[in-house]
Amino acid sequence: MDECVEPGRITVDYSHLFPGVVVRADRIADEFDVVFSDGVRTEAGILHDDDGSAALDVVGYATAAGTMLPGRIWPIISIEDVGSEVNIALGPYLR
């Protein structure tokens, strides 16, 4: 029997992602709902490479101000447990 797993939630303190940003996740998951500071939402998933590295694959979205941002793959440079949340630091986007 297949179980439906709820996506995790990532909270971003900005209206967009950028190299070096640290986002907060409620837990580590394969799929996430992403919520930006301007209230805009999108989806993201974790990609894993054979060498053990991981990246966050974020679906494109428009900010509340109307700026269109394309989908991007952001390498995960660190993951740190902080209380009941997880901080995920992102490096420069790969594409």
54 secondary structure, DSSP code: E
What is the C-alpha to C-alpha distance for residues 37 and 48, in angstroms, rounded to an integer? 27
* Cα atoms found within 13 Å of the Cα of residue 58, Cβ hemisphere only: 28
Residue 45 maps to a domain:
yes
Query: Residue 43 domain-assigned?
Result: yes
Q: What is the pLDDT of residues 58-84, one digit of tens each?
A: 999 999 999 999 999 999 999 999 999
pLDDT, one tens digit per residue, over 12-41 is: 999 999 999 999 999 999 999 999 999 999
Task: Please tell me the distance from the alpha carbon of residue 92 to that of residue 90, in angstroms, as a whole number.
Answer: 7
* Long-range contact set of residues 71-78: C-beta below 8 Å, sequence gap at least 24: 72/17, 73/47, 74/17, 76/46
**Whole-prediction pTM value?**
0.91
Please check whether residue 2 lies inside any domain of the structure.
no
Residue 3 falls inside a structural domain: no
Does some domain include residue 24? yes
pLDDT, tens digit (0-9, with 9 covering 90-100), for 1-19: 456 789 999 999 999 999 9
Which structural domain range is residue 25 located in?
8-90
**In-domain check, residue 95:** no
With contact defined as beta carbons under 8 Å apart, do 23 and 90 qualify?
yes
Radius of gyration of the chain (CA): 13
Overall number of domains in the chain: 1
